[in-house]
Chain A
Amino acid sequence: MESHALINPEIALLWAGIAISILAVVFWPNRGLWARWRRTLQNTRRVRIEDALKHVYDCEYKQLTATHKSIAGALSISGDEVARLLERLEGLNLLRSEGEMLTLTEDGRAYALRVIRMHRLWERYLADETGVSETEWHYQAEAKEHLLTIEQADALAVHMGNPSFDPHGDPIPTAAGELPERRGIALTQLRPHQYAEVVHIEDEPTAVYAQLVAQGIHPGAHVRMISSDKNKIEVEVEGVENILAPIVAANVAVVPVGRVTRTEKAGATLADLAVGESARVAGISRACRGPQRRRLMDLGILPGTLVTAEMRNAAGDPTAYSVRGALIALRKNQARMIHIERNGANGV
């Protein structure tokens, strides 16, 4: 019974191999035919219109002037294409052009704000409720902002508790299209020894953003200017010294703070605590967001809380800490987000 009517095993394996290769070519993430097809579908006329409006709005917000050239640069399209695009925008009564200078109409501004709202909401969503890595937020939101409907965006906002800021510290326009004034100064403008809180990080260009993320700079982080000249800027970020190129530092907006708050002095984190040692929590790093942050606070991990490392897994991770009477195990990567003050623990 085995032998008759059976396909030769070599041929069977060959066919299976061919089938798998075809599936791989079609469905491979990001590079497969399916993914490519989806991408070309997204790259429609709507995308260009929205990107152009966003660019002009962005220029107005920063009090710069949008021109034909700047649009060509931002959208990486040719001058001819820009001309055609602007013609269409003016036809739709979204934009006015006076010579080189471009200004948005009321409708155009409302449209741009809608797109920005979707972009920032989506970034916020990715930051708070997904495991998507920080460097990918902007990229994914760039695509998503053109796909969400107004209803979907509102539902998303409701779901997240109507957030006011995106994870880069930018305000999210409300459904009615309101947006507060821009705040903060560039990091480069800080005087030596001045303390400040990061309120915003420009998420473009991506390479610069990735570098800032890698250096631990995030909205809410406390920084102290050490020295600055035209070649390099030396700052202390959450207790760690960093050197930035001025062009990179210019992408960080800060608000000077007067007093030395607790977080920034602390270099040590909960992960540094040896078993049996106690310390007081100085603060939870801003990089810890969303449900993760709320859960830690619900568990009673807040500035001033006395924490004792009770036992460590034989493999070194996780560690159980006693926090306000309960024994709570945390992983190392979480413990690193919790800044501590060791000498504060003596008072107990």
Chain B
Amino acid sequence: MNTAQTTRACETCPAHNVANLVKLGINLEGTDYVVALAGNPNTGKSTVFNALTGLRQHTGNWPGKTVTRAEGAFSYSDKRYKLVDLPGTYSLLSTSTDEEVARNFILFGQPDVTVIVVDATRLERNLNLALQVLEITDRAIVCLNLIDEAQRLGIAVAERTLAKDLGVPVVPTAARRGIGIQDLLHTIHDVATGAVIPKPKRIVKHAPQLEKAIGSLAESLQSKFPGLTNARWVALRLLEGDDRIISAVRTGEITSILSLTELPRETVGEGVLE
């Protein structure tokens, strides 16, 4: 009886890490789910943010515009969502403050959904960031924005193939005109509630020598922290000397973060519901 209830209850339970989100300054009052918005600069990320929340955040046509993290809220199908607009970055691997803010939020805040906004007219450059985000989190959606502009330029993106290649839902939008926003809301809802479970394909191959080092380190990690969902990624970060991850491994905090999706969820949800 107990297990059956747990599984059913879990489908609607949020997965985010309450303690870490509060530490990151997010007020969770009256929020069922937390959604993060990531993307390159100048992809219309802020426009998507405005289209979802109805807020009028300024959207400059200028890289590096959203410097601080903006927050908004919206409701969809009786659930209340908190939307966090992360700084626009080209990558999550460098050491700039923006990138650290974005990466730590996705990694330690464990948002219920991470929406990666990509520019349909410049897919290749945007996929670089998308692939990096997918290394960290499972619960992601790719928002293929600016499809109107792509159409004008004669660029067609096969979104189904893209979804299959990446292993996560892909929603084409033209946020400036409100096209695709309903689909996006629906998909966010599906992923947040667990109706759809994305399975990102982590297919990036590295140089042989590096692969060997990653493999051997990941093996040790795996045996020490069974259930770690992305040991390879943690291994890579250790090799890069990422101090936040080093200390998370040292203290064992790493288990509570990265294998969270495998744990019974109600233990995490309690904090939010009271």
List residues of chain A with CB under 8 Å of any chain B CB: 158, 160-164, 291, 294-295, 297-300, 323-326
Top 5 A-B pairs, shortest CB-CB distance: A162-B241, A325-B122, A298-B90, A298-B91, A294-B94
Residue of A nearest to B95 (CB): A161
Q: B92-144: which residues lie under 8 A (CB-CB) from chain A? A: 93-96, 121-125, 128
B interface bracket (residues with beta carbon within 8 Å of A): 10 to 19
Contact A325 B125 (CB under 8 A): yes
Given A161-B241, A161-B242, A162-B243, check contact A291 B124 (CB 8 Å). Answer: no
Q: Which of B122, B124, B125, B241 contacts A163 (CB 8 A)?
A: B241
Minimal beta-carbon separation of A258 from chain B (angstroms): 14
Interface membership of B163, Cβ < 8 A: no
Contact B96 A291 (CB under 8 A): yes
Interface membership of B197, Cβ < 8 A: no
Minimal beta-carbon separation of A259 from chain B (angstroms): 14
Interface membership of B253, Cβ < 8 A: no
Across-interface contacts of A160 in B (CB, < 8 A): 95
Contact B122 A158 (CB under 8 A): no
Residue of B nearest to A297 (CB): B91
Interface membership of B246, Cβ < 8 A: yes
Compute how far the CA of A311 lies from the CA of B242 in the bound complex, rounded to whole angstroms.
39
Contact B94 A300 (CB under 8 A): no
Across-interface contacts of B122 in A (CB, < 8 A): 324-326
Contact A291 B95 (CB under 8 A): yes
Across-interface contacts of A300 in B (CB, < 8 A): 124-125, 128
Task: Given contacts A161-B240, A162-B241, A298-B91, list 4 more A-B pairs with CB under 8 A.
Answer: A161-B242, A294-B93, A295-B90, A323-B125
Compute how far the CA of A294 lies from the CA of B89 in the bound complex, rounded to whole angstroms.
12
Contact A298 B94 (CB under 8 A): yes
Contact bitstring B224-263, A, C-beta under 8 A = 1, else 0? 0000000000000000111100100000000000000000
Across-interface contacts of A326 in B (CB, < 8 A): 122, 125
List residues of chain B with CB under 8 Å of any chain A CB: 89-91, 93-96, 121-125, 128, 240-243, 246
Contact A294 B241 (CB under 8 A): no
Contact A162 B124 (CB under 8 A): no
Compute how far the CA of A294 lies from the CA of B95 in the bound complex, rounded to whole angstroms.
9
Contact B90 A158 (CB under 8 A): no
Across-interface contacts of B96 in A (CB, < 8 A): 291
Across-interface contacts of B90 in A (CB, < 8 A): 295, 298-299
Given A161-B243, A164-B241, A298-B90, check contact A324 B95 (CB 8 Å). Answer: no
Across-interface contacts of B125 in A (CB, < 8 A): 300, 323-326
Compute how far the CA of A163 lies from the CA of B243 in the bound complex, rounded to whole angstroms.
11
Across-interface contacts of A291 in B (CB, < 8 A): 94-96
Compute how far the CA of A160 lies from the CA of B242 in the bound complex, rounded to whole angstroms.
9
**What are 7 A-B pairs with beta-carbon distances under 8 A?**
A161-B240, A161-B242, A162-B243, A294-B93, A299-B90, A300-B124, A325-B121
Q: With a 10 A CB-CB cut-off, give which of A161, A164, A294, A298 has the most chain B CB atoms.
A: A298
Across-interface contacts of B243 in A (CB, < 8 A): 158, 161-162
Compute how far the CA of A323 lies from the CA of B243 in the bound complex, rounded to whole angstroms.
32
Across-interface contacts of B242 in A (CB, < 8 A): 161
Compute how far the CA of A325 lies from the CA of B93 in the bound complex, rounded to whole angstroms.
21
Across-interface contacts of B89 in A (CB, < 8 A): 298
Across-interface contacts of A295 in B (CB, < 8 A): 90, 94
Compute how far the CA of A326 lies from the CA of B123 in the bound complex, rounded to whole angstroms.
10
Compute how far the CA of A291 lies from the CA of B123 in the bound complex, rounded to whole angstroms.
24
Across-interface contacts of B93 in A (CB, < 8 A): 294, 298
Across-interface contacts of A161 in B (CB, < 8 A): 95, 240-243
Compute how far the CA of A291 lies from the CA of B97 in the bound complex, rounded to whole angstroms.
12
Residue of B nearest to A323 (CB): B125
Across-interface contacts of A324 in B (CB, < 8 A): 122, 124-125
Minimal beta-carbon separation of B95 from chain A (angstroms): 6
Compute how far the CA of A300 lies from the CA of B91 in the bound complex, rounded to whole angstroms.
10
Compute how far the CA of A158 lies from the CA of B246 in the bound complex, rounded to whole angstroms.
10
